[in-house]
Amino acid sequence: MGCIPGRFLLPLIVAMVVGAALLLSPSPVSAQSVAPSQSRPEMRESCPGLVASRPMDRSIVRKVALASDEVRLTYIGHATFLIESPRLVRIATDYNDYVRPPVLPDIVTMNRAHSTHYTLSPDPAIKHVLRGWTNDGSPARHDVTVQDVHVRNVPTNIRDYMGGTQRNGNSIFIFEVGSLCVAHLGHLHHTLTQQQLDDIGHLDVVMFPVDGSVTLDTEGMLEVLQALKAPVMIPMHAFSIYTLNSFLERARGLWSVETAEVPSVVLSKSTLPTSPKVLVLPGR
């Protein structure tokens, strides 16, 4: 994942210390406080409302480097990815004050577990700021279409600072871009219920945290990935090369693992692997 610049170390260290303390609490969050399903559910055949399947207004199509069925994913660092659509709609995940993409996004998503996953002062030029939580604890609900991108979310719980459960404190964001469904798990703290899996639906790509302590532990994350069944799985939020390698050692028992030379990848339905793989993008 690359070295973490010095200015990022303090918030990350704080997040790790807080996470470690929470793990010692007697009230871990698991499966929305519901026991996980014993069976591996089958996902839906396609993304609900996939934008690429809708009629396209040709008058607003611009010439860009991507084909109409492609999406570009660039790992910026920590939990932030830049997602680019064929019409050059740009999305930044878990947008914060510490790790930002080099271009102004059209859409940003945020989560509230730590300050490295949100900002209270996003650039006012950003047209769509999607927060994965609400101030009153009710589920955040987003259903946004911008040109050839559709964004929606599935709320999940997080641990609070006292070790209890903060309901609906995180969101899994699903991006329907080109011909693909891409999910970002955010600061996921528990395995997923059958209802959440159904709400997520079929995925082609999933970006997931691998710190193994502040978010979900390694065994729990492997369970989530097996349930989601995405052909491409991209790790993030590792904190260190040791933590990343520790996760990859376990993952190799289930899937192939590929390490890219650059932090960007262009994907489409036709280029998805025939068997699931973990794709490691180097951090910046």
* CATH numbers and ranges of domains, the chain: 15-29+64-280 (3.60.15.10)
> Mean pLDDT in runs of 10 for the chain (284 residues)?
43 42 40 44 47 40 73 96 97 94 96 85 97 92 98 92 83 97 96 97 98 93 98 96 96 98 97 97 82
Token reading at 165 = 């459960």
Those residues whose C-beta lies under 8 Å from the C-beta of residue 176, and which sit 6 or more positions away, are 47, 49, 50, 51, 52, 149, 150, 151, 152, 182
Q: What is the DSSP string of 40-54?
A: -PPPPSS-TT-GGGS
How far is it, in rounded angstroms, from Cα 231 to Cα 217?
21
Phi and psi angles of residue 178, each rounded to the nearest 5 degrees, phi first: 60, -125
Please tell me whether the overall predicted TM-score, pTM, comes out greater than 0.85 for this model. no
What is residue 68's DSSP assignment? T
Token reading at 122 = 């996003």
Largest CA distance in the chain: 58
How far is it, in rounded angstroms, from Cα 178 to Cα 272?
13
DSSP bridge pairs for 7: none
How far is it, in rounded angstroms, from Cα 254 to Cα 222?
9
The reported pLDDT for the residue numbered 181 is: 98
How far is it, in rounded angstroms, from Cα 131 to Cα 173?
10
Token reading at 24 = 């010692």
Token reading at 70 = 């492609």
Going by C-alpha positions, the residue among 147, 173, 164, 175 that lies closest to residue 68 is: 147
The reported pLDDT for the residue numbered 151 is: 98
How far is it, in rounded angstroms, from Cα 258 to Cα 250?
14
The reported pLDDT for the residue numbered 47 is: 56
Could you tell me if 182 and 91 are in contact, meaning their C-beta atoms sit under 8 angstroms apart?
no
